Amino acid sequence: MKKFNIRKVLDGLTAASSSSSAAAQPGTPRENDVIQETLQSEHFQLCKTVRHGFPYQPSSMAFDPVQKILAVGTQTGALRLFGRAGVECYCQHESGAAVIQLQFLINEGALVSALADDSIHLWNLRQKIPAILHSLKFNRERITYCHLPFQSKWLYIGTERGNIHIVNVESFTLSGYVIMWNKAIELSTKTHPGPVVHISDNPMDEGKLLIGFECGVVVLWDLKCKKADYRYNYDEAIHSVAWHHEGKQFVCSHSDGTLTTWNVRAPAKPAQIITPHGKQPKDGKKPEPCKPILKVEYKTTRAGDPFMVLSGGLSYDTVGRRACLTVMHGKSTAVLEMDYPIVDFLTLCETPYPNDFQEPYAVVVLLERDLVLIDLGQIGYPIFENPYPLSIHESPVTCCEYFADCPADLIPALYSIGSRQKRQGYSKKEWPISGGNWGQGTQSYPEIIITGHADGSIKFWDASALMLQVLYKLKTAKVFERARGKEEKPNTDIVEEDPFAIQTLSWCPESRMLCVAGVSAHVIIYRFSKQEVTTEVVQLLEVRMQCEFSDVDSPDPGGEQTPTLPTPGASSSPQETEPPTQPSTGSNSSDGPRDNIPCLQVRSSPLKQSPGYQVELVIQLVWVSGEPPQQITSLAINSSYGLVVFGNSNGLAVVDYLQKTLLLNMGTTELYSPSEPYQRQPHSPRKARQPSGALCDSNDGSNTSEDRCKSPTSGSTSPCNSDDERKQKFIQKVKFKSRRFSKTVANDFAKMSRKISSSSEQKPDPEKRFQPWRSLTYRKRFCCMNDGKAEARMNQKGVCRTKSAPIPNAKDNSFSRSRSSSVTSIDRESREAISSFYFCESFARKTDSLVSPCVLVGTTQGCVMLVALSLPPGTDQRLQQPVGISSCGTLARLKGGILTMALLDSTGTLLPPSYESWYDPNASDEEKEKSRKRRPASPPSSQEGQDSQFAVLCSEKQAKVVAMPSQTRIYKHNITETSFVLRADVVQMAGTNCIACFCANGHIMTLSLPSLRPLLDVNYLPLTDMRIARTFCFSNLGQALYLTSPTEIQRITYSQETCDNLQEMLSELFTPVETPEAPNRGFFKGLFGGGAQSLDREDLFGETASGKASRSLAQHIPGTGNMEGMKGAASGVVGDLARARIALDERGQKLGELEERTAAMMSSADSFSKHAHDMMLKYKDKKWYQL
């Protein structure tokens, strides 16, 4: 029977509808029909690939000393497993409860996790994507501590009530053997001992279990006799217990900062009491109490003194001191300060056997925001160099871009430069967590991720082959002067903290040109060089951008007016581009508004620039008549033209970074031609701005005073007190404070917003309505503040934050927007911001027959405009003659803000912006000429009057394809009606191109080009998370990523091919390793019984000996990774091992059945023997004739 494929049917239906809609349009060129689209739905599938970065909010840790694998659990129920560099794995508990403890089944390829919801889970690590085999949910008791002895299948579980239950790890069933708290403590004790805080068996006697209760009581329990052998009492609460490997002593850490050492056979009093950080009084009194010692580990060595490692225990007078790890070795005590609070630590030892000399060689310290490994074998305890990409959050990520299929020479070039930046003083030994194997995937194209950070740094990461490794770090703050003290801090900043934070960036991989924009309204252009250079004077260009209002109440801008429409060859005058040497008002002036002052001061001393990215030009927007510059919302650089273009809510500016001049500084409304039907004029006057920079925050309910809503120059109340403004405030507050969106709510908000804003619209065009949440996504690139202080620091300083620069608040995953009190809501909607740029070589006007350099400009109101560029011919003339710029009017209009634009040729092939190949700017002139090659421009149109290009335009609501030069709309597709697109990119996929979109409702969609046929629509996220919404990046070849937490990057793929090959590409956690031999007992120990004593736990805890546990105590839940699931999921070497394991289990089951049959036969034989014996007794004294 032929297989029915519904996807192909849908493809046919959508293609037919698209064709019919295009054919219904008059003037549609028919030559478009010859473009054969090869992308189908079968090419797309969405799945997660890998997660990089530090585990967010870690809570527990475990280590397998044989497999050399580290596991970290988090407060959100996540598991992160680490092996050698490049071997990482992420899995998640469905409940999302915090992981309180982890226990490896050492060298078994399994892991037990205990969660805060009183459930335990068994994870199978023998497959590339770990899965849960069994789960057990406790109903009546809370889990506080777990212990799994080495090479044992019985797991001890301590509870809050003080009881200990025992679980069979293989079947995940409870044993009937229970240690009740009232049996463990003395009968004379009148109070409850508290929760169980420690369980461990004696290293030399598995039949003796050490139980620690919170109150300070420790009990040595005899498992066979079911009674307490010894009880050890201390006045202070216990936090942890550690054994000496000989089983004759153990150490307890207490809440008063003391360590007590006990001899097992002397329970009356401790053998030793020490306070490691306590001050010893001279009169012999007890030392002053210290902070609790949260954990202690006691490790022995053959050749020297034992190690005692502990966390906490500092004296209370060390207020403000950072968390410390203390290493006590013999008579020396080393206190190692950590950058963050300690969550947990583990001492790595040579042997997994607890009854042998431990020989510790390293300490793994899990901090709240870092993972540190300390080398115990070298003097000074140096740390190991961490090979994992755990420094993503070193400074909060504010900006990110993803580039797949980069030039092959980029990663080696960045790595060679970045290798010189590595710190010194690391341990010379190799990283000790070295388990697992890399994947064997066929994906070989280079991938680079760029992250911008709050401290102004930019990091380049090698993301090839599902790995992540830092290549190079660039510090942009070096360009500026730093305030040394509070009194020197300039008051021209528009942000209180993190003034160097990266807002957006534009990177050309081919030419290696980099352009970054910061929150202080500055742009820095970098060139890549392999040679060190010292820049005596940093090239600076100050730009004065303001929004002109024609109303009589508008304040005097205090500067020269920008021409309405410059001529093609016109450039700005020196008076406009160069700041005055002595401005009339300075930052310290109190008698007038600030004017012509940048937010940051560029460094005046010589700047030594190391090999790598070096500053070419700094562009700063300045204060205008008391108003701070608006933050930059979009940015683009083109190495072939030597131009940088950037825009904000005031307009756009074009800078020639070769000649270091400003070519164009124009308001958004001036880009429209005089007869433009879409042109929007300001609707209300804007009052003079308060010099103090007061706020009128539409999201802050506390800003209700009339003083903040009044203009200082007029006594009348600002329009922000009107009913419409209050409604608008309420809607915006709900929209931005809410974490979850539904279609119904979004639709209602859209209707309410349209009703309120319709009064301020001059022309109620259907494609021109005010769209809700437009301000969230006006930009192609995102900016986020992961620090919860972001909103507070923005509001304190009085930053003018328009709708074109939202800042997410990490605390509630919402956005904070602040505006000056004098800017009303009507003005806020009328100011159209620039949202995207695209350099191309196209037809600037309908009458053009040849292509020429152009810039496509997209705005937050959905308008796409063309700006033509006139470049001087030749290299010499390019450096001397100015570049001509002219506005060519509007190309198209879409619903919602423009997100991305691209250009296709007549065959549907993507026409990328032209670029200049990289050359070293510090090399000799001959080498420059050899390497400087400009990519050939697009071939000119062969036929006049025939469209030979297609402009692809995508906004928050729609996508359109427009034929060039006729500017006729060919295709149109409404992406979403109830939501809006957060991120859209034109990407390469399976040898052709498509549009990839991520919507606010969590849907990921792809559209074919040029017909805009839907190919993929998956509801990836059930609820909209603002961090994900603002950090989503698409790249070529079906790759995408987003920041899933402040410290982690999640990579996904929407490519069917990548999903099919994912099993091969992922790394393997479990590798077959022989378990080390047990320590030799020696002749005399074996003779006199001094060695380790084994225990047959099966006889004690099995069902035949202890009976069945209460069914109401815990509920068994079979996992998704059971044996049947393993048969289908396993593949490769791990699959062979898993199948061998399954075969062994099945063989074990058959052997068990055979054993049962043998037992039945033995029982039958015993019965037969008994009957035969009875008959023999009956007839033994009778003669033969008496029978």
Paired strand residues for 1118: 134
Q: Return phi, psi of residue 907, to 5°.
A: -95, 5
H or E element, residue 1160: helix 1132-1179
Per-residue model confidence (pLDDT) at position 930: 59
**Residues 284-296: tens digit of each pLDDT:** 677 788 999 999 9
The amino acid at residue 743 is K
* SS3 at position 774: helix
Torsion 712-718-720-726 (CA) sign? positive
Per-residue model confidence (pLDDT) at position 702: 38
What is the rounded CA–CA span in Å between residue 314 and residue 277?
5
- Residue 1174 DSSP label: H
Per-residue model confidence (pLDDT) at position 1110: 78
What is the rounded CA–CA span in Å between residue 233 and residue 58?
33
* SS3 at position 531: coil
H or E element, residue 10: helix 6-23
H or E element, residue 898: strand 898-905
What is the rounded CA–CA span in Å between residue 219 and residue 199?
10
* DSSP letter for each residue of 1136-1148: HHHHHHHHHHHHH
1142 CB-contact burial (10 Å; exposed 0-12 / middle 13-18 / buried 19+): middle
Going by C-alpha positions, the residue among 588, 352, 592 that lies closest to residue 487 is 588
What would the two tokens of residue 544 be?
A: 């004065």
Other beta carbons within 10 Å of 789: 16
What would the two tokens of residue 1080 be?
A: 């030799």
pTM: 0.78
Contacts of residue 26, Cβ cutoff 8 Å, sequence gap at least 6 = none
What is the rounded CA–CA span in Å between residue 1074 and residue 978?
59
Per-residue model confidence (pLDDT) at position 799: 31
Per-residue model confidence (pLDDT) at position 1141: 58
What is the rounded CA–CA span in Å between residue 1115 and residue 117?
13
The amino acid at residue 143 is I
Q: Please identify every stretch of the chain with a pLDDT value under 50, giving residue numbers as ranges.
A: 1-10, 12-32, 486-487, 549-591, 680-723, 726-727, 729-829, 936-944, 1084, 1087-1088, 1123-1135, 1138
* SS3 at position 447: strand
What is the rounded CA–CA span in Å between residue 111 and residue 1069?
12
What is the rounded CA–CA span in Å between residue 525 and residue 434?
41
Is the distance from CB of 237 to CB of 196 less than 8 angstroms?
A: no
What is the rounded CA–CA span in Å between residue 348 and residue 69?
11
Q: Return phi, psi of residue 1093, to 5°.
A: -100, 125
Length of the chain: 1187
Long-range contacts of 1094-1097 (CB under 8 A, 24+ apart): 1094/206, 1095/205, 1095/206, 1095/207, 1095/223, 1095/224, 1097/152, 1097/153, 1097/154, 1097/206, 1097/223
What is the rounded CA–CA span in Å between residue 819 and residue 806?
11
